[in-house]
Amino acid sequence: MGRWMVAVALAVLLGLQANPALSGPRTSAASNTLQIEKARIDRALAEMISGGRAVGVSALIFKDGREVYFGTAGHANREAKRPMRRNTLAQIFSMTKPVTGVALMQLWEQGKFGLDDPLSRHLPEFAETKLFAGLDSAGKPVLKVPGRPILIRDVLRHTAGFAYGPGDSVPEREFVRIDPLNLNVDLAEFGRRLAQVPLLFEPGTQWRYSAAVDVQALLVEKLSG
Protein backbone atom coordinates (compact mmCIF):
# COMPACT_ATOMS: atom_id res chain seq x y z
CA MET A 1 0.00 0.00 0.00
CA GLY A 2 1.29 3.45 -0.84
CA ARG A 3 1.60 5.91 2.00
CA TRP A 4 0.59 9.54 1.68
CA MET A 5 -0.29 12.47 3.84
CA VAL A 6 -3.04 15.00 3.35
CA ALA A 7 -2.61 18.73 2.84
CA VAL A 8 -1.72 20.86 5.82
CA ALA A 9 -4.04 23.83 5.63
CA LEU A 10 -1.88 26.03 7.80
CA ALA A 11 0.83 25.96 5.16
CA VAL A 12 -1.16 28.40 3.09
CA LEU A 13 -0.68 31.02 5.77
CA LEU A 14 2.93 31.20 4.69
CA GLY A 15 1.70 32.63 1.42
CA LEU A 16 -0.36 35.44 2.92
CA GLN A 17 1.69 38.55 3.47
CA ALA A 18 0.13 41.69 4.87
CA ASN A 19 1.32 45.21 4.19
CA PRO A 20 3.99 45.83 6.90
CA ALA A 21 2.87 49.43 7.15
CA LEU A 22 -0.38 48.33 8.71
CA SER A 23 -0.60 48.22 12.49
CA GLY A 24 -3.25 47.97 15.14
CA PRO A 25 -6.47 45.96 15.00
CA ARG A 26 -7.39 44.14 11.81
CA THR A 27 -10.03 45.96 9.78
CA SER A 28 -11.85 45.08 6.60
CA ALA A 29 -9.68 47.59 4.76
CA ALA A 30 -6.54 46.01 6.18
CA SER A 31 -7.65 42.50 5.23
CA ASN A 32 -8.10 43.65 1.63
CA THR A 33 -4.37 44.40 1.45
CA LEU A 34 -3.45 40.72 1.87
CA GLN A 35 -1.55 39.46 -1.12
CA ILE A 36 -1.44 35.87 -2.36
CA GLU A 37 2.16 35.05 -3.25
CA LYS A 38 2.00 31.92 -5.39
CA ALA A 39 5.76 31.37 -5.45
CA ARG A 40 5.97 31.60 -1.68
CA ILE A 41 3.23 29.03 -1.17
CA ASP A 42 4.75 26.76 -3.82
CA ARG A 43 8.06 26.96 -1.99
CA ALA A 44 6.45 26.20 1.39
CA LEU A 45 4.74 23.10 0.00
CA ALA A 46 7.93 21.91 -1.70
CA GLU A 47 9.89 22.35 1.54
CA MET A 48 7.37 20.19 3.41
CA ILE A 49 8.19 17.36 1.01
CA SER A 50 11.94 17.88 0.84
CA GLY A 51 12.14 18.15 4.62
CA GLY A 52 10.34 14.84 5.10
CA ARG A 53 7.36 16.37 6.91
CA ALA A 54 4.88 14.96 4.40
CA VAL A 55 4.67 12.60 1.42
CA GLY A 56 2.15 14.67 -0.50
CA VAL A 57 0.42 18.00 0.10
CA SER A 58 -1.97 20.35 -1.63
CA ALA A 59 -3.32 23.79 -0.87
CA LEU A 60 -6.41 25.60 -2.14
CA ILE A 61 -7.25 29.23 -1.35
CA PHE A 62 -10.50 31.00 -2.09
CA LYS A 63 -10.71 34.78 -1.67
CA ASP A 64 -13.80 36.91 -2.28
CA GLY A 65 -15.66 33.94 -3.68
CA ARG A 66 -13.11 32.83 -6.25
CA GLU A 67 -10.10 30.58 -6.41
CA VAL A 68 -6.85 32.51 -6.15
CA TYR A 69 -4.41 29.66 -5.58
CA PHE A 70 -4.07 25.94 -6.05
CA GLY A 71 -0.85 23.98 -5.85
CA THR A 72 0.51 20.56 -5.01
CA ALA A 73 3.79 18.90 -4.12
CA GLY A 74 4.90 15.32 -3.60
CA HIS A 75 2.99 12.11 -4.15
CA ALA A 76 -0.45 10.71 -3.47
CA ASN A 77 1.22 7.28 -3.69
CA ARG A 78 4.95 7.40 -3.16
CA GLU A 79 5.69 3.79 -4.15
CA ALA A 80 3.70 4.05 -7.38
CA LYS A 81 5.13 7.55 -8.06
CA ARG A 82 1.61 8.91 -8.47
CA PRO A 83 1.68 12.68 -7.91
CA MET A 84 -0.75 14.71 -5.88
CA ARG A 85 -3.40 16.18 -8.16
CA ARG A 86 -6.47 18.34 -7.85
CA ASN A 87 -8.75 15.27 -7.78
CA THR A 88 -6.66 13.27 -5.27
CA LEU A 89 -8.95 11.96 -2.54
CA ALA A 90 -7.80 12.70 1.00
CA GLN A 91 -9.08 11.68 4.42
CA ILE A 92 -9.69 14.92 6.30
CA PHE A 93 -10.35 13.33 9.71
CA SER A 94 -10.44 16.07 12.37
CA MET A 95 -11.09 18.93 9.97
CA THR A 96 -14.78 18.23 10.60
CA LYS A 97 -14.23 19.50 14.15
CA PRO A 98 -13.99 23.23 13.30
CA VAL A 99 -17.24 22.93 11.33
CA THR A 100 -18.97 21.35 14.33
CA GLY A 101 -17.62 24.00 16.69
CA VAL A 102 -18.78 26.84 14.45
CA ALA A 103 -22.25 25.31 14.18
CA LEU A 104 -22.53 25.03 17.96
CA MET A 105 -21.31 28.59 18.55
CA GLN A 106 -23.84 29.90 16.03
CA LEU A 107 -26.51 28.34 18.22
CA TRP A 108 -24.91 30.03 21.25
CA GLU A 109 -25.13 33.37 19.41
CA GLN A 110 -28.83 32.65 18.88
CA GLY A 111 -29.27 32.20 22.63
CA LYS A 112 -30.02 28.48 22.43
CA PHE A 113 -27.73 27.65 25.37
CA GLY A 114 -25.25 29.13 27.83
CA LEU A 115 -21.62 28.07 28.06
CA ASP A 116 -22.07 27.27 31.74
CA ASP A 117 -25.29 25.34 31.27
CA PRO A 118 -25.05 21.81 32.67
CA LEU A 119 -24.80 19.42 29.75
CA SER A 120 -27.69 17.43 31.21
CA ARG A 121 -30.03 20.42 30.80
CA HIS A 122 -30.00 19.75 27.07
CA LEU A 123 -28.90 16.09 27.04
CA PRO A 124 -30.62 14.52 30.09
CA GLU A 125 -28.80 11.19 29.72
CA PHE A 126 -25.65 12.83 31.14
CA ALA A 127 -27.39 13.59 34.45
CA GLU A 128 -26.59 10.05 35.55
CA THR A 129 -22.92 9.97 34.46
CA LYS A 130 -20.70 8.89 37.36
CA LEU A 131 -17.07 9.57 38.25
CA PHE A 132 -14.58 6.73 38.64
CA ALA A 133 -13.10 7.06 42.14
CA GLY A 134 -10.77 4.06 42.28
CA LEU A 135 -11.12 0.42 43.32
CA ASP A 136 -12.47 -0.97 46.56
CA SER A 137 -10.79 -3.66 48.67
CA ALA A 138 -12.24 -6.33 46.43
CA GLY A 139 -10.86 -4.67 43.31
CA LYS A 140 -14.23 -3.46 42.08
CA PRO A 141 -14.72 0.05 40.63
CA VAL A 142 -16.01 2.73 42.97
CA LEU A 143 -18.33 5.17 41.22
CA LYS A 144 -19.64 8.42 42.68
CA VAL A 145 -21.51 11.55 41.70
CA PRO A 146 -19.11 14.20 40.34
CA GLY A 147 -18.45 17.25 42.46
CA ARG A 148 -20.08 19.40 39.81
CA PRO A 149 -21.93 18.62 36.60
CA ILE A 150 -20.33 18.60 33.16
CA LEU A 151 -20.83 22.03 31.61
CA ILE A 152 -21.12 22.78 27.91
CA ARG A 153 -17.94 24.80 28.37
CA ASP A 154 -16.21 21.53 29.34
CA VAL A 155 -17.44 19.84 26.18
CA LEU A 156 -15.93 22.66 24.11
CA ARG A 157 -12.52 22.54 25.76
CA HIS A 158 -12.05 18.79 26.48
CA THR A 159 -12.33 19.17 30.25
CA ALA A 160 -15.48 17.07 30.74
CA GLY A 161 -13.57 14.01 31.96
CA PHE A 162 -14.71 11.72 29.16
CA ALA A 163 -12.71 8.56 28.55
CA TYR A 164 -11.51 7.84 25.03
CA GLY A 165 -10.37 4.21 24.93
CA PRO A 166 -8.64 1.93 24.62
CA GLY A 167 -6.45 2.25 27.69
CA ASP A 168 -5.56 0.74 31.04
CA SER A 169 -8.04 2.60 33.25
CA VAL A 170 -11.51 1.36 34.15
CA PRO A 171 -13.25 4.20 32.23
CA GLU A 172 -11.18 3.49 29.12
CA ARG A 173 -11.98 -0.20 29.28
CA GLU A 174 -15.64 0.64 29.74
CA PHE A 175 -15.45 2.96 26.74
CA VAL A 176 -14.27 0.04 24.61
CA ARG A 177 -16.92 -2.30 26.01
CA ILE A 178 -19.84 0.11 25.58
CA ASP A 179 -18.49 1.30 22.21
CA PRO A 180 -20.21 4.68 21.84
CA LEU A 181 -18.40 5.41 18.56
CA ASN A 182 -19.72 2.29 16.86
CA LEU A 183 -20.41 3.29 13.27
CA ASN A 184 -23.73 1.45 13.28
CA VAL A 185 -25.33 3.76 15.87
CA ASP A 186 -26.67 7.28 15.44
CA LEU A 187 -25.73 10.36 17.45
CA ALA A 188 -28.53 9.87 19.95
CA GLU A 189 -27.40 6.32 20.74
CA PHE A 190 -23.79 7.54 20.89
CA GLY A 191 -24.83 9.98 23.62
CA ARG A 192 -26.72 7.33 25.58
CA ARG A 193 -23.72 5.03 25.47
CA LEU A 194 -21.13 7.66 26.35
CA ALA A 195 -23.20 8.80 29.32
CA GLN A 196 -22.81 5.28 30.77
CA VAL A 197 -18.99 5.46 30.70
CA PRO A 198 -17.54 6.65 34.05
CA LEU A 199 -15.57 9.90 33.96
CA LEU A 200 -11.81 9.80 34.31
CA PHE A 201 -11.63 12.95 36.44
CA GLU A 202 -13.80 15.67 37.96
CA PRO A 203 -15.23 17.93 35.26
CA GLY A 204 -13.24 21.11 34.76
CA THR A 205 -10.10 19.93 36.57
CA GLN A 206 -8.03 18.48 33.72
CA TRP A 207 -7.67 18.56 29.94
CA ARG A 208 -7.90 15.31 28.03
CA TYR A 209 -8.70 14.75 24.37
CA SER A 210 -11.91 12.78 23.95
CA ALA A 211 -15.10 12.26 21.98
CA ALA A 212 -16.31 15.65 23.23
CA VAL A 213 -16.64 17.01 19.69
CA ASP A 214 -19.14 14.22 18.96
CA VAL A 215 -21.08 15.49 21.97
CA GLN A 216 -20.95 18.96 20.41
CA ALA A 217 -22.49 17.44 17.27
CA LEU A 218 -25.21 15.84 19.38
CA LEU A 219 -25.92 19.22 20.97
CA VAL A 220 -26.18 20.82 17.52
CA GLU A 221 -28.67 18.13 16.49
CA LYS A 222 -30.72 18.56 19.66
CA LEU A 223 -30.66 22.37 19.87
CA SER A 224 -31.32 22.98 16.18
CA GLY A 225 -34.04 20.38 15.86
| Residues with a known catalytic role | 94
Q: How far apart are CA 165 and CA 210, in angstroms?
A: 9
One-letter-per-residue 3-state SS of the chain: CCCCCCCCHHHHHHHEECCCCCCCCCCHHHHCCCEECHHHHHHHHHHHHHCCCCCEEEEEEEECCEEEEEEEEEEEECCCCEECCCCCCCCCHHHHHHHHHHHHHHHHHCCCCCCCCEHHHHCHHHHHCCEEEEECCCCCEEEECCCCCCEHHHHHHCCCCCCCCCCCCHHHHHHHHHCCCCCCCCHHHHHHHHHCCCECCCCCCCCCCCCHHHHHHHHHHHHHC
